[in-house]
Structure 1
Amino acid sequence: ILFGFGNAGVAVGFSNLWEHGGFMPNGWGGMLAAMCVVAAAFQGVELVGITAGEAQNPKHTLKRAVNNIVWRILIFYIGSIFVILCIYPWNEVSYIGSPFVMTFAKVGISSAAAIINFVVLTAALSGCNSGMYSSARMIYTLAQNGQAPKCFLKLSKSGVPRNGISVTIIVLFIGVILNYLIPNSKLFLYLYSASVFPGMVAWFVLAYAQKNFRKAWGPEVMAKHEFKSPLYPYSNYFCILFLVLVTIGMLYNPDTRMSIFSSWVYMAAVIIAWFACGLNKKKYDQDGHLIKTDEEP
């Protein structure tokens, strides 16, 4: 970009960012359509809250983890796309294969494909690992609250909810089988986009609950709170507005429209089961014994 390495010494510069139709050639609609799928890539950052119960010093480790997340998104997500779009015009990227491979190859790294494959595999395994961890822990908590079968309360000798992990692995394996039986289809896109809206529901709840939490405790208490929110409450409103826009975009995108409808059906079924079965009225201890409340004899 600056010195022309891999480009015969001619610096590419930053002009590709605003040439070939402008900075946003397809307007806000194009960006919104992309975010319908891209939003899923950012889901999981809220999992840092799940680890609070197991952190030895959450006041230190959680603040450090949150700050690291911000910098990693800026460097590895926004930074990498910034570099690629500076080197290659946006309207040529889809015709050159993997833009990451081409970028490395352009600067003379011949084993670019192998490097990128290793990075992608590592990232996929990391995402899978965090998903299994969070899924097993949430299933365990649901079982404690009487919202899942008691069998998910069983822990291994090291304190791992093994039954929750086993079920998660089975579901993952079903996805592998479907991908094998239905290759070269839009199955991945449907499954991937179907996870966007249920994941955003957690963001809706977090943004709304955090706003109410700080409002309830008042500015005096929040001023001394360990976890600052300097843009409160505007950051909460911006987050909610963004999620609404992504949801609207999913309804207009034919590739994600069906997935969001299926997400609504699934969530409706969960809500109906919640009230119909009284799942919020029972709690269990770690041994699976029912904890009696004041309302029960």
Structure 2
Amino acid sequence: MTSSKTTVHEHGAGSTTSPDPSANELERKLSLRHIRFIALGSAIGTGLFYGSSETIQAAGPAVLIAYLIAGCAVYAVMRALGEMAVRHPVAGSFAQYSGRYISPTAGFLTGWTFAFEMIIVAIADMTAAAMYMKMWYPDTPGWVWMVAALVLICGLNLMRVKVFGELEFWFTLIKVVTIVAMIVGGLALVIGGVSLGGFTPGPHNFFEHSGFAPFGVWGIIMSLGIVVFSFGGVETLGMTAGEADDPARAIPKAVNTVPIRILVFYILTIGVMLMLIPWTEIGSGESPFVQVFAVLGIPGAAHVINAVVLSAALSAMNSITYAASRTMYGLAEQGHAPASFTRVSKAGVPVQPVAIVACCLVIGLFVYLWIPDQLFLIVASIATFATVFTWASILLAHCNMRREMARNGEQPGGFAAPLWPVLNYLGLAFMGLIVVILAFTPAGRAALIVGGVWIALLLVGYRLLVGPTGRVRPDLALRD
């Protein structure tokens, strides 16, 4: 099993002395159950429980096609990532793979862009949590709840990884049980033809009210931006490889099941929701789940669902903070972040990266005070850009790994990604489409500008802080 020890490059962005190895090891305490639910917790959160209202308004019932298309892209990315994670189970995961198989510069860009993505998504989750609390405390300023969420999540991320994994398991279990209950209960209403809130549930709601695709193919295409944001974070599964107790067993099982479960949850949940009430009744600005149960008039149901979507936002924020901190730890191992980022607490947690995430969330809090009504869509678009960049890096690194293996006469292992290289190329084409889509919305254009500036700053930072040679961990050499 690969060790997670640090050797910092002499041109690294921090101290040139290597920390005591005994003080910088992550704990391999995450079980298969933890890994599956951390990945589920990252991807089933604000994007589904809040952002789906935006996708429904963009495409109508045809949004289901958008989720299916994006789900196929997720599968391609996750199989590529899974093959690399089994071969190289290290902290920092795909940032390390980009550095090894593309270039040290690419590793630097991928790692920091993923950390940026996670922090931006965490800000979106924090914003959503504040919006959910308005249902119960409409007169309390949203920033109060954002501060409470920040303190809670950062506190959880300072616990031992096994405790963190267990908490995230229960957090995510609440979401999964609620989703399953909604699917089963909704289908029961549809089959029974029970009329609630003045609407008769059934498949007819897919095709009435201007048809299945009221905005045509263009509506489906335009919804893909937020759909990708919804799935962003599923790659967090790769982050767990450095702390999995048996990565060769856990990663393949998680990769094979998590993307399918996420896709099924999204499509079935939204499909049932659209059969219960017409899509035109679902507005933006609050959780569509809460809206549906409020319209149906089931006593107390809206409050219960609001509590669940609140826990979903906190769960996603929790696992995302974990992913961002472990990415920074892996970057420090490559010499792409200060060496002090690899120092861990007695609980085995990289404290400084967690503190960096907390500081960024505080900045997000101040931005919320500036543009409270626009913050979610802007950060969702920025996160989509970062997600596409990260996914494309994973696919490119996997392509290069396979080519190198072929040159060396090596055969793929037992968890080889299928349909290589066709699936990789289709995935990369999809990423290019999403970048083009972003250019057609105001929030998307702002995201492209922010993303371009971010990449430019990273390139300058790489040249100034790391140097032209870079460094890749020696234990990322190909295995036999």
- Whether these two folds match at TM > 0.5 is yes
CA gap of 1:11–1:186, structure 2 versus 1, over 3 A, is: closer
2:411 aligns with 221
> Cα distance, 1:8 vs. partner?
9.6
Q: Taking structure 1 as the reference length, what is the TM-score of the superposition? A: 0.84
Output the amino acid matched with 1:264: G
**Correspondence 1:123-272 to 2 at 5 A:** 123-179=312-368, 181-182=369-370, 184-218=372-406, 221-222=411-412, 225-272=413-460
SS at match of 2:280: coil
> Cα distance, 1:150 vs. partner?
2.7
> Cα distance, 1:98 vs. partner?
4.4
User: What's the CA shift string for 1:229-279, capped at 9, x where partnerless?
Assistant: 233322212211111111101011122211211111111110122124334
Asked if structure 1 preserves the Cα contact closer than 8 Å seen for 2:229 and 2:387, the reply is yes
Asked if structure 1 preserves the Cα contact closer than 8 Å seen for 2:399 and 2:424, the reply is yes
Larger Rg: 1
SS at match of 2:439: helix
Q: Taking structure 2 as the reference length, what is the TM-score of the superposition? A: 0.54
2:463 aligns with 275
Asked if structure 2 preserves the Cα contact closer than 8 Å seen for 1:136 and 1:164, the reply is yes
Distance in 1 between the 2:378 and 2:431 partners? 19
Output the amino acid matched with 2:226: V
Distance in 2 between the 1:201 and 1:244 partners? 10
CA gap of 1:97–1:207, structure 2 versus 1, over 3 A, is: closer
1:288 aligns with none
Q: Does residue 197 of structure 2 align to residue 5 of structure 1?
A: no
SS at match of 2:192: coil
1:295 aligns with none
User: What's the CA shift string for 1:50-86, capped at 9, x where partnerless?
Assistant: 2112212112211222233223313321111111122
Asked if structure 2 preserves the Cα contact closer than 8 Å seen for 1:12 and 1:87, the reply is yes
CA gap of 1:250–1:54, structure 2 versus 1, over 3 A, is: same
Distance in 2 between the 1:38 and 1:259 partners? 15
1:294 aligns with none
CA gap of 1:97–1:154, structure 2 versus 1, over 3 A, is: closer
Which 4+ stretches in 1 moved above 6 angstroms? 8-11, 282-285
CA gap of 1:255–1:213, structure 2 versus 1, over 3 A, is: same
Distance in 2 between the 1:276 and 1:266 partners? 15
CA gap of 1:100–1:10, structure 2 versus 1, over 3 A, is: closer
Asked if structure 2 preserves the Cα contact closer than 8 Å seen for 1:4 and 1:12, the reply is yes
2:261 aligns with 72
Q: How many residues align?
A: 283
SS at match of 1:94: coil
> Cα distance, 1:153 vs. partner?
2.5
Output the amino acid matched with 1:71: I
RMSD: 2.9
Output the amino acid matched with 1:275: R
Distance in 1 between the 2:370 and 2:383 partners? 19
Distance in 1 between the 2:470 and 2:425 partners? 34
> Cα distance, 1:228 vs. partner?
3.6
Output the amino acid matched with 1:191: V
Asked if structure 2 preserves the Cα contact closer than 8 Å seen for 1:6 and 1:106, the reply is no
1:62 aligns with 251
Distance in 2 between the 1:8 and 1:38 partners? 29
Asked if structure 2 preserves the Cα contact closer than 8 Å seen for 1:197 and 1:247, the reply is yes
> Cα distance, 1:42 vs. partner?
0.8
User: What's the CA shift string for 1:35-61, capped at 9, x where partnerless?
Assistant: 212311211111111211221211221
2:34 aligns with none
Asked if structure 1 preserves the Cα contact closer than 8 Å seen for 2:205 and 2:274, the reply is yes
CA gap of 1:17–1:142, structure 2 versus 1, over 3 A, is: same
Distance in 1 between the 2:396 and 2:304 partners? 41
Distance in 1 between the 2:452 and 2:376 partners? 19
Distance in 1 between the 2:283 and 2:198 partners? 25
Distance in 1 between the 2:316 and 2:372 partners? 23
Structure 1: any 5+ residue segments left out of the alignment?
286-290, 292-297
Distance in 2 between the 1:275 and 1:201 partners? 20
Distance in 2 between the 1:96 and 1:262 partners? 24
Distance in 2 between the 1:96 and 1:83 partners? 21
Distance in 2 between the 1:214 and 1:37 partners? 31
